[in-house]
A and B are shown apart, each in its own frame.
Chain A
Amino acid sequence: MSLLNLQLKVWRQNQGQPGHFQEIQARGIPDHASFLEMMDIVNERLIKDGSDPVAFDHDCREGICGMCSMTINGIPHGPEKATTTCQLHMRKFRDGDTIWIEPFRARAFPVIKDLIVDRGAFDRIQQAGGYVTVRTGAAPDANSILVGKEVADAAMDAAACIGCGACVAACKNASAMLFVSAKAGQLNSLPQGQPEKDRRTLGMVRQMDKEGFGNCTNQYECEAACPKEISVRWITKMNRDYAIASAKEAFVGTTERTEGGE
């Protein structure tokens, strides 16, 4: 194991105030440490010096919860392909490196503190249709809904999304198309998702626009940054589903939820 001396340029910001980069020396960092453990060490020293530690989001530290969200040297989750920040290890850096650490930047992801951003927009998009309306207890036997293996596998590819927001942070337009298309695409591909397909697609896309995410201009930075390697083909599918749903809406009428019967 060797030790690294690094120069960090870390984004510091309090809610509602302008932010700035702070230079922090990170000396003697074990190369076996994960990136977040490096941040733990730095924070421990800041606390010891009576300074304000760097606030960052993290939880599972095994690449599945989607909570960690740092842009490292300009790349969401850093330089390693298909790897979240928490799974990135310091041996990928060299002694003497300068590392720029920023939050996931997007207008729809306001900064709460330092590297912590508010990704509540993702929840609201899913509340706008990212579900199958099925009451607990009202489900038929699981094997009465047959799903071909290829279809199930494709749905699982989309469902692997961890909702971290790297796709948004990577996009020059801060578009959320990869996220939204993966979430809608999973359900729109499955037989269980067919009855609500149009309503789901319109609801989620409109909420996405309302949240202030930008448009997709087919640069595919999102796919490159995605730690779960979600394919941009889901965006193609969503565009198709959206076109069909809007056309139906224009010719047949509204697909808005109507409360009736109860």
Chain B
Amino acid sequence: MSLDSKTPSGPMALRWSKHKQDSKLINPKNKRKYTVIVVGSGLAGASAAATLSELGYQVKCFCFQDSPRRAHSIAAQGGINAAKNYQNDGDSVHRLFYDTVKGGDFRARESNVHRLAEESVNIIDQCAAQGVPFAREYGGGLANRSFGGAQVSRTFYARGQTGQQLLLGAYSSLNKEIARGGVKMYSRTEMLDVVVVDGHAKGIITRDLVTGAIESHAGDTVLLCTGGYGNVFYLSTNAMGCNVTATWRAHRKGAYFANPCYTQIHPTCIPVSGDYQSKLTLMSESLRNDGRIWVPKKKEDCGKPATQIAEEDRDYFLERKYPSFGNLAPRDISSRAAKEACDAGLGVGPGGRGVYLDFAEAIGQFGQKTIAERYGNLFEMYEKITGESGYKQPMRIYPAVHYTMGGLWVDYNLMSSLPGLHVLGEANFSDHGANRLGASALMQGLADGYFVIPTTIAPYLVTQKPGAVTTSHPEFQKALEDARARTNRLLNVKGKRSVDSFHRELGLLVWDKCGMARDKAGLNEALKRIPELREEFWSNVVVPGSGSAANPELEKAGRVADFMEFGELLCLDAREREESCGGHFRTEHQYPDGEAKRDDENYCYAAAWEYTGDLSKPTLNKEQLTFEEVHLQVRSYK
């Protein structure tokens, strides 16, 4: 299939308006005849479900959590960008667009990014009207802060819980529509598969996580709003339940998976303390404003208490390697430098995977009180998790995966290569390119749900006769049987290794070979090992209990089985892309100073992988990316 992005033509700033004018509309009386299936209830899913219901569509919304309010959008801390220019500091839609394209290292689709920047202002209006308690100035207007190195102050926030508040806002709109009868909500219900009828996505197969019942739901279109795949690494800052199942199952049914190798690493997370560790916790990067990062110069010092290591025996490696940026070097550079130090055997803390973040000098200079005022909540969180006080000894930090830019390929209408299947938010690939800027994830989820899909869904739906396909269609029966068979297969392996032990092994492998820094030899090793591990999984996993009741182990098993397949595509994509860009760093492709070396001549495309039936041999389709407004340039920090 050819990749038609359906991007409108004409001047960049007018494309979205023109597209809205050109898009077909559906008469209000006819809208209610259409059923829209929304999978996921985070920012993208909840906002889409609520808005489509307001427009008159019949919506069915699904989430695996016990309530739509618990989707992982809730954990986002920092804020949401919008080109409001309330600060009068020169911000504009164009500047937000420009920053996002450049920040994405020129691997995003320009037209989509411009639309995102345009809609950013409407999001803030919408959320404020819902009663989201944004931070305010004394005069009652909205407050802003700067974020992620932007030169303007365009980030709106609600203390350190912006994601929570935006999600609760979307959830309140969703509740309004549930009460009105426009949305039927299915909580504790997990999607197991997409049902394809005559080449179109026409429904889903689900498992009721309370009763175990496997059921089918038909609709006129399906929206996947199911987040990212960071948990393929086992340890990440994602919630435990985050998974790739919905997008991966859709991929197997014909939706192309684009740029899976674009994964983002956050440098200031609390390190792993032991092999029982289940997740990693992120601390705000602002800590690097006052903390100095170092490791011991000598391996024999690594086990000593930090305070007993003499000043001349410490290597402040960021200050040494990047004298102009020092401890504020960009995320990817800082992360890789920490990895190199630990690879060299100089890491500190349990397992030797950690570097010090030292506040002693800042405390000496400004006093503990000032440091507590700036970062008190972070020091508290650190102490709660590690039992150590960052005031008395240096904190230990290590990078961790926290966002994935890749996802299902979508056109300008957010429709995947599988007709009828739309993909929103982190689950799609479109807006962040190879690297996402801070405070942009919330913006994209809500732009897609509140403002993009309500317009772009109609051009597809008008081509469909509403309600034409029901669950009595043979394809639904077949998909139901497949899902039941797969569930039974998982229960009947009756091997010796737990699901978690497989997930942990897979995670360690992809983190080691396809994490912060990648090279061909390592990726080849991973590509050899993953299929072996997958085979062992299917012959030696143990899933206790039955399929006909609540069974958390069975839920995990299904998700890990899909990660086992997806992990291979992740490594294949990373091997194929012989350049470094954004979150993808190939050690073979770097400048002498360690900066990422992009290859625009050969790799200025989105890699959209097509499932062929053979997991090791997917077909690569390319969408060439053109940059008409923001000219290709080296992303430099000098």
Binding site for B on A (CB under 8 A): 1, 14-15, 30-34, 36-37, 40-41, 44, 46-48, 50-53, 55-62, 64-67, 83, 87, 89, 91, 112-113, 116, 118-120, 122-123, 126-128, 130-143, 145-149, 152-153, 155-156, 159-160, 162-163, 186-187, 190, 192-193
- Is B172's CB under 8 angstroms from A83's CB? no
- Number of residues from B at the complex interface, CB < 8 A: 80
Asked if B439 is at the interface of the complex by the 8 Å CB criterion, the answer is no
Given the complex, which residues of A lie within 8 Å of B210, measured CB to CB? 15, 112, 118
Q: Are A53 and B54 also in contact (CB < 8 A) when A33-B274, A120-B67, A136-B454 are?
A: no
**Residue of A132, A136, A147 most packed against chain B (CB within 10 A):** A136
- Write 25 A-B pairs (CB below 8 A) sorted by A numbering: A15-B549, A37-B277, A46-B544, A47-B553, A50-B544, A51-B544, A60-B74, A61-B281, A64-B164, A67-B70, A116-B550, A123-B67, A123-B68, A123-B187, A127-B179, A132-B130, A136-B173, A137-B122, A139-B122, A142-B84, A142-B124, A148-B140, A149-B138, A152-B134, A156-B165
Q: Tell me the minimal C-beta distance from A78 to chain B in angstroms.
A: 12
Residues of A within 8 A of B178 (CB): 127
Option from B239, B350, B552, B553 in Cβ contact (under 8 Å) with A1: B350
| In the complex, chain B residues whose CB is within 8 Å of the CB of A186 | 131, 133
Interface pair B387/A91, CB less than 8 Å apart: yes
Query: B451 to A136, Cβ gap below 8 A?
Result: yes
Q: How far is the CA of A48 from the CA of B277 in the complex (A)?
A: 19
A145 to B139 CA separation, bound complex (whole angstroms):
11
Q: Is the CB–CB distance between A65 and B70 below 8 Å?
A: yes
Among B133, B142, B385, the residue within 8 A (CB) of A159 is B133
| Closest Cβ neighbor of B141 among chain A residues | A143
Least CB distance from B225 to A in Å reads: 15
Q: Which of A52, A65, A116 has the most CB of B within 10 A?
A: A65
Given A53-B544, A192-B130, is A131 in contact with B176 using a C-beta cutoff of 8 Å?
A: yes
The answer to whether A132 and B172 touch (CB under 8 A), given A30-B276, A53-B553, A120-B66, is: yes
Interface centre among B47, B133, B158, B278 (most CB of A within 10 A): B133
Complex CA–CA separation, A171 to B217 (angstroms): 40
In the docked arrangement, what's the CA distance between A155 and B140, Å?
13
Which residue of chain A lies nearest to B185 when distances are taken between CB atoms in the complex?
A123
Report B104-142 CB contacts with A as 1/0, cut-off 8 Å.
Answer: 000000000000000000101111111101111111111
Given A61-B281, A113-B549, 19 more pairs with CB closer than 8 A: A40-B500, A53-B545, A55-B552, A64-B75, A64-B161, A65-B75, A67-B70, A131-B176, A134-B129, A136-B450, A136-B451, A136-B454, A142-B124, A142-B128, A145-B128, A148-B136, A148-B140, A159-B133, A159-B164
Cβ–Cβ < 8 Å partners of B552 in chain A: 53, 55-56
A146 to B143, CA, bound (A): 12
